[in-house]
Amino acid sequence: MIEKKPGVQILGTGAYFPSKVLTNSDLEKIVNTSDEWITSRTGIETRRISDSDIPTSELAFRASIEALNTAKLTTKQLDLILVATITPDMLFPSTACLLQRRLGAKGIPSFDLAAACSGFIYGISIARSFIQSGLYKTILLVGAEELSKITDWTDRTTCVLFGDGAGAMVLTASSYKENSILSTFLGADGDYSNLLYVPAGGTLHPTTNETVVKKMHTIKMEGKQVFKMAVLKMVYAAKKAIELSGLQIKDIKLFIPHQANIRIIKAVAEKLGISMQQVFINIYKTGNISSATTITALDEAIKTGKIKKGDIVELISFGSGFTWGATVIQL
Ligand code: COA
């Protein structure tokens, strides 16, 4: 039996991408790669890149304003700000506090959460719990990243994959009838922490000349192993969240998986027994933007009319940690 807790309604979403486009042919001039290799192995054709003087909080701000406008709310009506990011403006203060200042939402609690590419799904679960507990009524949840700034632009095995962007969602307490979040499921396994990581800049390897020279401040990844686990865990999380919602795969109108690699997405779809027509894809123009992928894809699916009020959608993610998660929502 599904427990009838207080409802959590999604009031609005927003997204923002920097205007600068980096194409596969641009990358051909930087590393030994080809448009054909990148497109066929990843599905990525272009990605957006921030200017050097624009921090993650700025992308977060632009996406937040759009989400607040869609929700028809002002910043004064927010009770909490949560930012999922692995590319914060700085180690501290949190990007959420910098966003709070930018929004003029003085006083309300604000913090970052780091669950890598699963960050937005983790955020939905946290926001939902806060709202259902009665502690906060209205929450701004943001996924914002500038992966271009932690990318090794001499490493062809990673630099072709990532991009920059931000997405935001406003959630509020509602009646059970208007509830949007039907289920959330989260998981993690720290045994795999050495397969996708940035080695230096924290307390394990504080910044030194050596860490800079050895490029230890950029993304390191064992692509093949990440690929296999991503498929396994996204399928697992997708099934668990559907089970927790009390629904079945056939009830889901649109699946929005983490956009890391088109081949991962196709393998997940195949294992779930769904057609690619039911799966939202925008990786070809965004690349992997970590915590911002599922929310920017959801925002695009709503704004382009691919999904409408009442439709049931599942967001599924996987990332460094490893972390994974899924959520079933009803618009
Ligand atoms: N351009 C051209 N060739 C490239 C290349 C590039 N950008 N990157 C790697 N190659 C080469 C490799 O050097 C290798 O050459 P070799 O056979 O001579 O050694 C060959 O292509 C195959 O490399 P491989 O690593 O086996 O490719 P792959 O099919 O596993 O694809 C990834 C590589 C990174 C695209 C893929 O493993 C992947 O997407 N992994 C998951 C990444 C991910 O999702 N990360 C984020 C998770 S949140």
Claim to verify: residue 168 and residue 213 sit in the same structural domain: no
* Ligand 1 site, residue 298, Cβ cutoff 6 A: no
Measured in Å, residue 223 CA sits from the centre of ligand 1 at: 6
Name the residue among 194, 209, 297 with its Cα closest to residue 255.
297
Claim to verify: residue 132 and residue 191 sit in the same structural domain: no
* Ligand 1 site, residue 288, Cβ cutoff 6 A: yes
Claim to verify: residue 152 and residue 30 sit in the same structural domain: yes
Q: Does a structural domain hold residue 2?
A: no
The CATH number of the domain holding residue 241 is 3.40.47.10
**Ligand 1, atom 2: closest residue by C-alpha:** 33
Total of domains in the chain? 2
* Ligand 1 site, residue 156, Cβ cutoff 6 A: yes
Q: Look up tokens 């950029």; give the residue.
A: 218
Residue 297 structural domain: 181-330
In percent, how much of the chain has pLDDT > 70? Answer: 99
pLDDT digits (tens, 9 = 90+) for 241-265: 999 999 999 999 999 999 999 999 9
**Ligand 1, atom 36: closest residue by C-alpha:** 223
Claim to verify: residue 212 and residue 173 sit in the same structural domain: no
In which band, very low, low, confident or very high, does the pLDDT at 173 lie, cut at 50, 70 and 90?
very high
Of ligand 1's atoms, which has the minimum distance to the CA of residue 263? 39
Of ligand 1's atoms, which has the minimum distance to the CA of residue 290? 48
Mean of per-residue pLDDT scores for the chain:
97
Q: What is the per-residue pLDDT for 4?
A: 61
Claim to verify: residue 137 and residue 208 sit in the same structural domain: no
Mean pLDDT confidence for 13-30: 98
Q: What is the per-residue pLDDT for 176?
A: 84
Token pair for 120: 């937005």
pLDDT digits (tens, 9 = 90+) for 198-241: 999 999 999 999 999 999 999 999 999 999 999 999 999 999 99
Claim to verify: residue 27 and residue 174 sit in the same structural domain: yes
Claim to verify: residue 211 and residue 272 sit in the same structural domain: yes
Claim to verify: residue 307 and residue 208 sit in the same structural domain: yes
In which band, very low, low, confident or very high, does the pLDDT at 280 lie, cut at 50, 70 and 90?
very high
User: Which one of the listed residues 24, 97, 117, 159 is annotated catalytic?
Assistant: 117
* Ligand 1 site, residue 157, Cβ cutoff 6 A: yes
Residue 227, preceding peptide bond in cis (omega within 30° of 0): no
* Ligand 1 site, residue 118, Cβ cutoff 6 A: no
Q: Does a structural domain hold residue 59?
A: yes
Claim to verify: residue 86 and residue 235 sit in the same structural domain: no
Residue 109, preceding peptide bond in cis (omega within 30° of 0): no
**Cα(210)–Cα(196) distance, integer angstroms:** 21
Mean pLDDT confidence for 276-300: 98
**Cα(49)–Cα(143) distance, integer angstroms:** 16
**Cα(36)–Cα(174) distance, integer angstroms:** 49
**Ligand 1, atom 13: closest residue by C-alpha:** 157
Q: Does a structural domain hold residue 322?
A: yes
Q: What is the pTM of this model?
A: 0.96
- Whether 258 is catalytic is yes
Q: Does a structural domain hold residue 1?
A: no
Domain end, chosen from 141, 159, 178, is at 178
Domain end, chosen from 178, 201, 236, is at 178
pLDDT digits (tens, 9 = 90+) for 42-90: 999 999 999 999 999 999 999 999 999 999 999 999 999 999 999 999 9
**Cα(282)–Cα(297) distance, integer angstroms:** 7
In which band, very low, low, confident or very high, does the pLDDT at 5 lie, cut at 50, 70 and 90?
confident
**Ligand 1, atom 14: closest residue by C-alpha:** 157
Q: Look up tokens 């906060």; give the residue.
A: 136
Q: Does a structural domain hold residue 27?
A: yes
81 close to 108: Cβ distance less than 8 angstroms: yes
- Which string of DSSP letters, residue by residue, matches 133-196? HTS-SEEEEEEEEEGGGG--TT-HHHHTTB-EEEEEEEEEEE-GGG--EEEEEEEE-GGGTTSE
Measured in Å, residue 159 CA sits from the centre of ligand 1 at: 11
- Cα torsion 48, 80, 74, 55: sign: negative
Claim to verify: residue 17 and residue 108 sit in the same structural domain: yes
- Which string of DSSP letters, residue by residue, matches 13-37? EEEE--S-EEEHHHHHTTSS--HHH
**Cα(165)–Cα(293) distance, integer angstroms:** 8
In which band, very low, low, confident or very high, does the pLDDT at 1 lie, cut at 50, 70 and 90?
very low
